[in-house]
């Protein structure tokens, strides 16, 4: 296995996957790594739905196309020009984001830790804990030769995704992870801002 820092520095979003299934023991390791994340108040207020079923995955993929179209045409302050949008949609139709596994990441506030007047605080803590779990899973997947992408656009169509995913009542979708063996080259592509622009030392 790669040294930890190499895993962190070489992870990147993977959006095209080979059809090969993810073995159950590999999937279990990824999920175990997820729930080892720090969790506010020790609350573990998260719930994960793992989607393997082909029909469900097809339904999710169709919704991902719809959600990305909405994002690119209605959500962005500067919507994508039509040709770019249609090119992206075509790529999705051709299989981009279609994964052998989806992990839907929910916050689960059925067991409450804090007083009612601190509900927003509790929710924020649960969302942040879940985000840590998602990153743990993505890093573990990458360390084991898989790839994945964190998908936020499903939140634009929460109800439609929930119809497919059928979460327990009281759970709220926060992200979807598409996971599988990469069908594209893996390596850090996106440049980041210079540290001096995002860090202030005092
Ligand atoms: C909260 C969050 C939501 C994201 N949502 C999407 C998404 O809906 N679709 C997508 O293609 N990528 C999504 N991404 C992936 C980002 O586009 C990606 O992380 C960013 O471009 C940096 O690239 P890298 O992950 O390869 O370093 C999301 C990432 C985060 C953290």
- Centroid of ligand 1 to alpha carbon of 150 (angstroms): 6
- Centroid of ligand 1 to alpha carbon of 148 (angstroms): 10
The DSSP secondary-structure symbol of 13 reads B
- With tokens 């899973």, the residue in question is 137
Please tell me the predicted confidence (pLDDT) of residue 116: 97
Q: Do the domain assignments include residue 21?
A: yes
- Centroid of ligand 1 to alpha carbon of 112 (angstroms): 30
Q: What are phi and psi of 92, to 5 degrees?
A: -65, -45
- With tokens 């299989």, the residue in question is 95
- Ligand 1: residues with CB < 6 A are 12-13, 15, 149-153, 189-190
Count: domains in the chain? 1
Q: What does the block give as tokens for 27?
A: 């999937």
Q: Do the domain assignments include residue 68?
A: no
Please tell me the predicted confidence (pLDDT) of residue 201: 97
Q: Which atom of ligand 1 is nearest to the CA of 67?
A: 8
pLDDT mean by block of 10 residues, the chain; 202 residues: 90 97 98 98 98 98 98 95 96 98 98 97 98 98 97 98 97 98 83 94 97
- Centroid of ligand 1 to alpha carbon of 188 (angstroms): 13
Q: Do the domain assignments include residue 9?
A: no
Q: For residue 156, what is the domain's CATH number? A: 3.40.109.10
Please tell me the predicted confidence (pLDDT) of residue 145: 95
Q: Do the domain assignments include residue 108?
A: yes
Q: Do the domain assignments include residue 194?
A: no
Q: Do the domain assignments include residue 6?
A: no
Q: Do the domain assignments include residue 122?
A: yes
Q: Ligand 1 pocket: which of 10, 11, 149, 161 to mutate (most atoms <8 Å of CB)? A: 149
CA-proximal residue: ligand 1, atom 19 (nearest): 13
Range of the domain at 167: 17-53+100-183
- Centroid of ligand 1 to alpha carbon of 110 (angstroms): 29
For the beta carbon of residue 151, count every other beta carbon within 10 angstroms. Answer: 22
Q: What does the block give as tokens for 142?
A: 């990458």
* Residue 164, CA distances (Å) to 51, 106, 158 in order: 10, 14, 10
Q: Do the domain assignments include residue 133?
A: yes
């Amino acid at each position: 296995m790669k040294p930890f820092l190499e895993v962190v520095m070489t992870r990147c979003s993977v959006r095209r996957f080979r059809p090969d299934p993810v073995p159950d023991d590999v999937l279990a390791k990824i999920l175990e790594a997820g729930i080892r994340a720090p969790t506010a108040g020790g609350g573990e207020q998260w719930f994960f739905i793992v989607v393997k079923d082909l029909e469900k995955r097809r339904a999710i993929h169709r919704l991902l196309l719809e959600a990305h179209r909405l994002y690119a045409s209605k959500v962005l302050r500067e919507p994508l020009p039509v040709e770019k949008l249609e090119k992206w949609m075509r790529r999705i139709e051709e299989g981009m984001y279609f994964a052998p596994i989806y992990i839907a990441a929910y916050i689960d506030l059925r067991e409450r830790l804090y007083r009612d007047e601190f509900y927003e605080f509790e929710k924020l803590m649960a969302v942040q804990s879940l985000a840590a779990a998602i990153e743990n899973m993505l890093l573990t997947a990458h360390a084991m030769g898989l790839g994945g992408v964190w998908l936020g656009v499903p939140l634009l169509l929460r109800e439609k995704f929930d119809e497919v995913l059928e979460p327990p009542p009281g759970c709220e979708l926060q992200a979807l992870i598409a996971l599988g063996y990469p069908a594209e080259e893996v390596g850090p592509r996106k440049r980041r801002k210079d540290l001096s622009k995002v860090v202030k030392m005092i």
